[in-house]
Amino acid sequence: KMVLFVGKFADWKRLDMVLKTAKLYEAKYPDICTVIAGTGGPNDIKYYQDMAYEEVGLEHTYFVGAQMQPDLARLASIANIGVFPSKSEPFGMVFIECMACGTPVIGANSGGPRDFVSEAVGCLIPDDELSVPSTDKLINDLF
């Protein structure tokens, strides 16, 4: 089982929420991993890797760096869930890419994704309710 996050390592992408949620589902599902595809500045990369491995204590989370489009499509097609909790995502191409591969998505009900993510393809959580517990509950529901 695989949870996928793709995005720039920026605060508004809320990668920290994905990592903290991963701690909860890793404890329940020993066969699950989280793949983080994307990049940021050297300090950002170190910050999130330190958070994942030292602060949160994740064991099955992998940072794979920036990926070319064909590799992103492969990741989206093998993922069980795409999690993209960005604040005010302008469009959300990664949602479209996952949905095109038949992979359900979870994200914030703000910005572009609210125009095209329906219950048939995933779930959007109201921005003010988006939290580690609410994201974990949706992941549990999808597994």
Q: What is the DSSP letter of 129?
A: G
Residue 117: phi, psi to the nearest 5?
Answer: -95, 120
Write down the pTM of the prediction: 0.90
Domain residue ranges in the chain:
2-142
User: What's the rounded Cα separation, in Å, for the pair 95 and 85?
Assistant: 11
CATH number assigned to the domain covering 2-142:
3.40.50.2000
- Judged by phi (left if over 0) then psi (alpha if -120 to 50, else beta), residue 38 lies in left
What pLDDT, in 10s, does the model give residues 56-114?
999 999 999 999 999 999 999 999 999 999 888 888 889 999 999 999 999 888 888 88
Nearest Cα to 21, choosing from 44, 63, 52? 52
The dihedral through the CA atoms of 87, 88, 91, 96 has a sign that is positive
Owner of token pair 């958070």: 51
Asked whether 79 and 4 are in contact (CB, 8 A), the reply is yes
Q: Three-class SS of residue 120?
A: coil
Q: Which of 29-33, 51-55, 68-72, 134-138 shows the lowest per-residue confidence on average (mean pLDDT)?
A: 134-138
Percent of the chain with pLDDT over 90: 58
Average pLDDT, the chain: 90
Q: Band of the pLDDT at 130, cuts 50, 70, 90?
A: low
